[in-house]
Amino acid sequence: MRKFAALLVLLFLVTLGAVAQSSVGDVWFTSTSVSTQPGQTFTTDVQVNTGTLKLAAYTFKMTFSAIIAVNTAVGTQGVTAGPDGFVTVVNPQATSLTISSFDVTGKAASATLRLLTVNWNAVSNGSTTIANEVQALSNEATVTIGTPRAANSVAVQVGTVVTPTPTRVVTPTPVTPTPTRVVTPTPVTPTPTRVSTPTPTRAVTATPTRAVTATPTRAVTATPTRVVITPTPTRVVITPTPVHPVGEVWFVEPNISLTAAGGTFTTNVQVNTGTQKLAAYTFEMGFSTIISVNTAVGTNGVTAGAQGFVTVVNPQPGKLTISSFDVNGTGPSATLALLSVSWKADSAGTTTITNNVTALSDELTKQIGTTMVGKSIQVSIGGTVTPTPTQVVITPTPTQVVITPTPTQITGCTAASLPLNIDGAITTCKTLTAITNYINSWELGSGGSVKINGVDVTGKWMSAAQLPAKVNGLYTINYVGKNPWSHFEAR
């Protein structure tokens, strides 16, 4: 018992000494051994020695056997930020856990920075080791912190350790036969007695160009006058080129239509980084369950583009989170080919793949663009979506037109400013003094519409040059949405 107690004290001192003498770049578990029972939960805390540098980005990959599992009901998929730490993206698998996170400002330098806690479930009896591979560790200027390494691991015992009882070996006692007494009066030849020697017992031990095209509308605003219009028939090819501002992320493909479920398709994503390199990004894509991510391709369904990079991917039903960084950065480019996502068409119906851009920065952690915008794409399985615009021959009949505009006072409208977003199943009116870039809308639903100065622009992407003329110096936007996900935007 004394030897066991002394061993525990020695292990404690060794662990304490390892932490106290850690080098810059060391990452360690504060506890190196855990003993628990099936059905119980336990935690492991992780600390880092950052020396004199802040911690702004890291990637860890922990491995273990299936007798334990990450308790995804706690924190972010089973991981909780420590008092000094941060957690962005967590990807738990059956025998591995990848944590990839970044903070644009960085956390204060510390020799014992309390970074995070991992929550675990004990599944079945046995023993395993939780090992940690440190794949990235850098500050806010993307400078690597010391020599990144995992300083220790955690030995986990689930269930009671059974010590087998040694088998008792029985050594047989030799039997000495009693000699037969011979009587001699009459000579008799005695029959010798056979002596049996017992046999000893054996002992056993137990990415875009969006192809949704607006129908051009002709708006004439003039002083009341009589005008005779006699146009010459003209062949017009309508091919507007969407303008992607710096900081915008879009799907390259136009809306997608599949004839039946059971197939696969791919969406490519591009980004306009302006004059900056792209070093870090986080996207959260949403969609309905008629489609799912094809995790058999690339990194959990996502493949880096010609100019891109992919670090951590977390696919869920109806949601896909991609969080990645590159210390050197890539680009710059106005059409940076970042990544492609592989999808499965699971059942018939229509859905919209939305993209919420929560982070987009360069190698100095500066945000790219003044506004980060993620575009969406519509997918129809067993149906059709808005067709690609075709050549149109416009042959107007010369007619006499009397234009008599009557400026009226706008009531019931609210003044707004750029950027303007209107969402949901509502009816509203907004006015803008200017639209400098474009307008777009989608998923207005049956009976839904968007009109600008009385011109129907429902479901159309239009550049500023294609918009109807202002009336009384204003764009009056009448919005009627019928779906919770109906949307209009002006930039």
Give the end of a domain, one of 332, 366, 381: 381
Please tell me the pTM assigned to this model.
Answer: 0.43
25 and 111 inside one domain: yes
- Residue 171 in any domain: the answer is no
Number of structural domains in the chain: 3
The per-residue pLDDT for 397 is: 59
Phi, psi of 251, rounded to the nearest 5 degrees: -85, 135
Give CA 438 to chain center in angstroms. 29
The per-residue pLDDT for 214 is: 43
418 and 359 inside one domain: no
Residue bearing tokens 């003039």: 222
Residues 491 and 350: their CA atoms lie apart, in Å, by 27
- Residue 3 in any domain: the answer is no
366 and 411 inside one domain: no
pLDDT at 94 over 50: yes
Q: Which of 476, 475, 483, 436 is nearest to 459 (CA)?
A: 483
Q: Where are the alpha helices (DSSP H) in 357-417?
A: none
| Of the listed ranges 200-209, 281-290, 454-463, the one predicted with least confidence | 200-209
281 and 413 inside one domain: no
Residues 491 and 489: their CA atoms lie apart, in Å, by 7
Asked if residues 84 and 46 have their Cβ atoms less than 8 Å apart, the reply is: no
Structural domain span for residue 346: 248-381
381-to-9, 259, 452 alpha-carbon distances in Å: 65, 6, 32
Asked if residues 430 and 416 have their Cβ atoms less than 8 Å apart, the reply is: yes
pLDDT at 103 over 50: yes
38 and 152 inside one domain: yes
Residues 326 and 136: their CA atoms lie apart, in Å, by 10
349 and 470 inside one domain: no
> Would you report the helix, strand and coil content of the chain in percent, each value rounded to 5?
5, 45, 55
Asked if residues 283 and 356 have their Cβ atoms less than 8 Å apart, the reply is: yes
pLDDT digits 0-9 by tens, 56-86 = 999 999 999 999 999 999 999 999 999 999 9
- Residue 394 in any domain: the answer is no
Average pLDDT over residues 309-329: 92
334 and 274 inside one domain: yes
Give the end of a domain, one of 124, 158, 192: 158
Residues 481 and 488: their CA atoms lie apart, in Å, by 9
What is the CATH classification number for the domain harbouring 339? 2.60.40.680
- Residue 181 in any domain: the answer is no
368 and 423 inside one domain: no
Q: Letter for the amino acid at 232?
A: T
pLDDT at 1 over 80: no
Asked if residues 189 and 182 have their Cβ atoms less than 8 Å apart, the reply is: no
- Residue 95 in any domain: the answer is yes
Asked if residues 152 and 32 have their Cβ atoms less than 8 Å apart, the reply is: yes
Average pLDDT over residues 318-327: 91
Q: Where are the alpha helices (DSSP H) in 252-400?
A: none
- Residue 4 in any domain: the answer is no
255 and 320 inside one domain: yes
238-to-9, 241, 361, 393 alpha-carbon distances in Å: 80, 10, 35, 10
- Residue 164 in any domain: the answer is no
368 and 475 inside one domain: no
| Of the listed ranges 99-108, 113-122, 184-193, 417-426, the one predicted with least confidence | 184-193
416 and 376 inside one domain: no
Residues in the chain: 491
The per-residue pLDDT for 235 is: 61
pLDDT at 181 over 90: no
Residues 140 and 102: their CA atoms lie apart, in Å, by 9
The per-residue pLDDT for 208 is: 44
161-to-125, 126, 205 alpha-carbon distances in Å: 9, 8, 18
pLDDT at 111 over 80: yes
Give the end of a domain, one of 114, 138, 158: 158
- Residue 214 in any domain: the answer is no
pLDDT at 395 over 70: no
| Of the listed ranges 19-23, 122-126, 127-131, 395-399, the one predicted with least confidence | 395-399
Asked if residues 246 and 368 have their Cβ atoms less than 8 Å apart, the reply is: yes
Residues 272 and 491: their CA atoms lie apart, in Å, by 16
Mean pLDDT, rounded, of the chain: 82
pLDDT at 315 over 80: yes
362 and 431 inside one domain: no
pLDDT band, residue 484 (cuts 50/70/90): very high
Average pLDDT over residues 276-288: 94
